[in-house]
Structure 1
Amino acid sequence: MVSGNQTTTPGFILLGFSNLTNRQGLLFVVFLIIYMVILLGNGIIVFVTVLDSALHTPMYIFLRNLSFVEICYTSVTLPKMLANCLAEDGSISFTGCAAQMYFSLLLGGTECFLLAAMAYDRYVAICNPLCYTLTMTRDVCTKMVAGSWLVNIPVHFGQAYFVFSLPFCGSHEINHFFCDIPPLLELSCVDTYWNKITVFMAALLFLITPFFLILISYIKITSMILKMPSVQSKQKAFSTCSSHLTVVTLFYGSAMTAYLKSKAGDSVDTDKLLSLFYTIVTPMFNPFIYSLRNKEVKFALRKILGGK
């Protein structure tokens, strides 16, 4: 009977923000503006760092890939959210839900490792500046970027397969704005203990491990900065890390809270708000954090556009 229910299921219903029935038009406008800002802002960073040869350095290679990941990451969830706001129909096919989950996990995990690679780049630049060009070669950067993608592909495919092999009985309403693992596990009519264990293990690998690598890098960077003789050199060293540190705080603060916090007493609205931060808010602020405080990016953009 369970397998029969599972095979006849046409898909799921994403409830999203359907409780705000009178504000769907406003939500559509807000999410559309956010999506356009994400595409434009991150697209400009990709465009500028590709065209300007002066920005073909390790830091900007990582930033270019991070911006590309942000564009893809939001494109997995936001278009469906926009369609649901217009049609007020949150239906999503079984295959579409599985694909949305897989790519959101893949891109989120890739972003974690890219942020760790950027932290290592800053560590080498500040703590071992004389060895920087020998250590952070183009080949090394390419391998680090490729590794960030490749390590995620098989693991998250297994994660998605493990979840969608479960039987889903009764209600097929996902109380979320995209197909995430925790709300989907709540719909299963069998024990999901081992699925929750795999989610926790994946969080350790793709959230906690890169986070500790970032933390170790910044502990060593801070130690080196404190040893610098002049205030000016300290400020210059810190300014090269501030943008990356801001993005890490926004992304990791919300993602780790959402995936590792206790569910006891937490509301579904809190989970949705935290998910909005790491899926939408961080990608929106990323280009502003990196470009508005970065003279090299602004100079390169003016040069490409023909300004003085």
Structure 2
Amino acid sequence: MIRGGFQQVQALVQQLLIADLAVECVVVPQTPEEAPGYQAIVTASALCRQLTVRIGTTADYRTATWLVLVDADDPLPLPDQVTALRRLTSQILESGFQGQMIFAGQHDAILTTFAWKFSGAALNKLWGLGTYPLNQLLTHRLAERLGVGVDMIQTTVVGQALAPVVAWSRTYVGPTPLLMYLANADAKFGADDLGKMASWLQRESQASQATLRRMALIRLLARLLVQQAPIISVSHLQGDQPTLAMATPVLMTPQGTQPITKLALSEDEQRAYGEQVTALQTTMTQLEEHRMEGKG
């Protein structure tokens, strides 16, 4: 199931038509007036061999495996997004929803955290795309610069989608740590260029990631549909006291996230990641105070 702004949902479904995944895609209009606008996509899906698209209702939440939530076309202020999420969470639970909620928008870490507060759902069923799209972007750029296949590169990007932290200490070319590879490789690209590449990724994180998110989501769903279980960085609730969602590596399975051994970062990487945790905790506190004051 997909829910969100009309244009955002349309764009995602159009890419799903091209990918032709073996799924039934149910679009849930936010208002009755939106429903006719999706009819052209429903009609076009007849050309797909595997994918089917139809317009759904709240009754479809009961049987949904994934509920993908994309941004509104004109996003509300963040406190209002939290309020809207509370209403939606109540609605889908009343309808019998037991699937996974996937946050595929800009503030996925915050909304994942509040979804857990509002629903009390199992931790493995709530996650956001996090830094995974940027991780994919970095992987392809690094492979291009090194002149190796994409499958040879394993990058790790943690933190938040709007403030990614590149873990060069956990990046590999084949079985070889990247820093060791660069020290031994006869290449124009060296360790000094890593800082420039990290700065480039930061700039990309400030631009619209909507198209990148859609591509990354579809590729991930394609892997899950064939029962693959990649280790990727997505926003998920951390640790034994799940009060905050951040993007760190997890085992992603068709049934949801599974924790793995805690990632060991370098001192500088851990400091940068810690700063992101602190910043997100501050934002969460402000949003909670806003809710408690009855403003949202």
Report if TM-score (shorter chain) is over 0.5: no
Q: Normalising by structure 2, what TM-score? A: 0.24
Larger Rg: 1
Structure (1/2) with the larger helix percentage: 1
Higher relative contact order (CA 8 A, sep 6+): 1
Structure (1/2) with the larger strand percentage: 2
